[in-house]
Amino acid sequence: MAETVESTTRVAEVPVVGHRRRWAPPRPLAALLAACALLGVAWALLLPAWQAPDENSHYGYVQSLVDGPGLPGEPDHLMFSTEQLFSADAANANQTAAAPSTKPEWDPRAYDAWRAEWAKRPDAQRSDGGGPNPARSNPPLAYLVYAAPYAAFSGADPFDRLVAMRLVGVLWLLVAVLATWALAGEVFGRRPVLQLGAAAVPALAPMPMFVSASVTPDAMLFAAWSVAFWLGARVLVRGLTVSRGVAFMVAVGLACWIKATSYGLIPGALVAFGWALWRARRAAPVRLAVPGLAALAVSVGGWVVLARALARPASEQLTSVATASGLDPRELASYLWQFYLPRLWFMQDFFAKVPVTLPVYDTMLQGAWGRFGWLEIAFPEPVYWALTAVTIATVVLAGSALWRLRRGLDRAVLAFLAVVALTLLAGLHWQEYRLVLSGAGLFMQGRYLLPLVAIAGVVVAAALCVVPARRRATAVAVVLSGLFALQIFSLALIVERFYA
């Protein structure tokens, strides 16, 4: 098929004589970024305060950094500041969270009364939080970034500060879109139609948008993983150099300063780096290996050292997983079977205490496509059936295309992406398996898969390769239209839930 040759083609750059060429995004990418930014602003403004998973904890973490006492976790402080608790109570935020029959407080008279009372309260009520915050074990990098808009709007009320912080999350989503476009360019060559189809996934899929437009380290996490995927693919496709290797490893290491989930990047990154090093074995491999590995060790180890110096856990989740004991391989295999397939008659029912039909559908597929608010806002069931069918069809088409194009694609890149995806899944399943055994119920949520959003974009681009080249632009238009319609539907659900 002609796709094999086409997939390896690179567009030659025309040299510019007399001055340095300034990079400008291709028009389709620029239009996609603009649409993503506008939708992100809409989400940031429409979503009521603290109506996203753990947003109150992440806001409290940032406030503790800026207003005091510093990193949260002080045993003699409130979980959240008096100002945050007072504001959340006035907006009816805590009562609304995960309670579909309850609405936020929208009465203008209540707002005026709250604002008059808030103006009289002392600044000390902003710094008495920082206690046993549920987010206290998270690394500080994302919160330090959020601290900039928080501090810039320190004179504004808490709701305005929250919106300013949310807009930073939208900027991180734009970074993820750019990185996904670049990643698709490394995998399939500079082919704007395929790159547009790939980048549309982080730009227009509802769940990455919803999460990024709230205050959460996940917004920065999606961007960091997407950049790491692009840099890893770049090392493999273009060859390992000192600068490329260091950039790749620093990106992986810094991701570990955002959230413990990023430790799942390290095995795949080492596989990619080792593969690239083997390819460059005739070009002073030690000179290429040492800077990259040192960059990874310093960036990852820096947080571990700092956490120990501050007497904080570097990663509670990682520690609990690593120290787990009592593995029963047959029991684990039974759990995995029941997560993805109907339970057989002789198997222990791992999900008897939770109302699920098939966990992969109820938690993973539904959660990755759209569960909003504190996950209580959902599409009608037929929408999930249709989205599941689209997901399965896309994966099948992508697998078929990758097989047909296997000689023209860099298999090392595909292996790198696959190892990272499998490592993340393995870690999530192991954590849930242990929690289910202890009677704690389900742990898995579809949003935990969103760090792989750039890989999902590559899967969509691969599926588009099945479409004849002359009709591919039309197919991409269908993808864009479908995702945009789903965005509008999702915003309508938000309006109905909180404003109707």
Q: What is the 3-state secondary structure (H, E, C) of the chain?
A: CCHHHHHCCCCCCCCCCCCCCCCCCCHHHHHHHHHHHHHHHHHHHHCCCCCCCCHHHHHHHHHHHHHCCCCCCCCCCCCCCHHHHHHHHHCCHHHHCCCCCCCCCCCHHHHHHHHHHHHHCCHHHHCCCCCCCCCCCCCCHHHHHHHHHHHHCCCCCHHHHHHHHHHHHHHHHHHHHHHHHHHHHHHHCCCHHHHHHHHHHHHHCHHHHHHHCCCCHHHHHHHHHHHHHHHHHHHHHHCCCHHHHHHHHHHHHHHCCCCHHHHHHHHHHHHHHHHHHHHCCCCCHHHHHHHHHHHHHHHHHHHHHHHHHCCCCCCHHHHHHHCCCCCCHHHHHHHHHHHHCCCCCCCCCCCCCCCCCCHHHHHHHHHHHCEECCCCEECCHHHHHHHHHHHHHHHHHHHHHHHHCCCCCCHHHHHHHHHHHHHHHHHHHHHHHHHHHCCCCCCCCHHHHHHHHHHHHHHHHHHHCCCCHHHHHHHHHHHHHHHHHHHHHHHHHHHHHHHC
Mean of pLDDT values over 449-468: 97
Least confident of 159-168, 313-322, 379-388: 313-322
Residue 18 within a domain: no
Mean of pLDDT values over 213-230: 98
Of residues 354 and 18, the one with the higher pLDDT is 354
User: Measured in whole angstroms, how far is the alpha carbon of residue 185 from the centre of its chain?
Assistant: 21
Domain that holds residue 457: 26-314+358-499
Mean of pLDDT values over 302-331: 67
* Both structure tokens of 308: 């120990």
pLDDT for position 415 = 96
The Cα 71–Cα 311 span in angstroms is: 11
Mean of pLDDT values over 190-210: 97
Q: Residue 8 pLDDT > 70, yes or no? A: no
Q: Residue 7 pLDDT > 50, yes or no? A: no
Mean of pLDDT values over 113-120: 94
Residue 4 within a domain: no
Residue 146: burial class (beta carbons within 10 Å; 0-12, 13-18, 19+): buried
Residue 251 within a domain: yes
Residue 322 within a domain: no
The Cα 393–Cα 65 span in angstroms is: 46
Would you place residue 465 in the very low, low, confident or very high pLDDT band (cuts 50, 70, 90)?
Answer: very high
The Cα 188–Cα 4 span in angstroms is: 10
The Cα 285–Cα 427 span in angstroms is: 32
Q: Residue 18 pLDDT > 70, yes or no? A: no
Contact yes or no for 458/464 (Cβ under 8 A): no
Q: Residue 379 pLDDT > 60, yes or no? A: yes
Least confident of 19-28, 35-44, 277-286, 326-335: 19-28
Residue 17 within a domain: no
The Cα 173–Cα 384 span in angstroms is: 24
Q: Residue 316 pLDDT > 70, yes or no? A: no
- Mean pLDDT over the full length of the chain: 90
Would you place residue 137 in the very low, low, confident or very high pLDDT band (cuts 50, 70, 90)?
Answer: confident
- Number of domains within the chain: 1
Would you place residue 448 in the very low, low, confident or very high pLDDT band (cuts 50, 70, 90)?
Answer: very high
Of 28, 310, 402, the C-alpha closest to 197 is 28
pLDDT for position 349 = 84
Task: Note the pLDDT tens digit of each residue in 392-436.
Answer: 999 999 999 999 988 889 999 999 999 999 999 999 999 888 888
Q: What is the pTM of this model?
A: 0.92
The Cα 308–Cα 208 span in angstroms is: 33
The Cα 224–Cα 262 span in angstroms is: 9
Task: Note the pLDDT tens digit of each residue in 47-100.
Answer: 999 999 999 999 999 999 999 999 999 889 999 999 999 999 999 999 999 999
C-alpha angle 353-357-362 in degrees, rounded to nearest 5: 95
Task: Note the pLDDT tens digit of each residue in 233-276.
Answer: 999 999 999 999 999 999 999 999 999 899 999 999 999 999 99
The Cα 192–Cα 194 span in angstroms is: 6
Taking residue 418's Cβ as centre, other Cβ atoms within 10 Å add up to 14
Q: What b/e string do you get for 263-301 counting C-beta neighbours within 10 Å, with b at 16 or more?
A: bbbbebbbbbbebbbeebeeeeeeebbeebbebbeebbe
Mean of pLDDT values over 314-335: 66
Mean of pLDDT values over 304-319: 68
Of 273, 179, 229, the C-alpha closest to 418 is 229
The span from the first CA to the last CA of the chain, in angstroms, equals 54
Would you place residue 10 in the very low, low, confident or very high pLDDT band (cuts 50, 70, 90)?
Answer: very low
Q: Residue 452 pLDDT > 60, yes or no? A: yes
Of residues 50 and 301, the one with the higher pLDDT is 50
pLDDT for position 315 = 64
Of residues 6 and 351, the one with the higher pLDDT is 351
Of 89, 55, 58, 100, the C-alpha closest to 210 is 55
Residue 363 within a domain: yes
Residue 16 within a domain: no
The Cα 140–Cα 217 span in angstroms is: 9
Residue 10 within a domain: no
Mean of pLDDT values over 108-128: 93
pLDDT for position 282 = 77
The Cα 429–Cα 448 span in angstroms is: 11
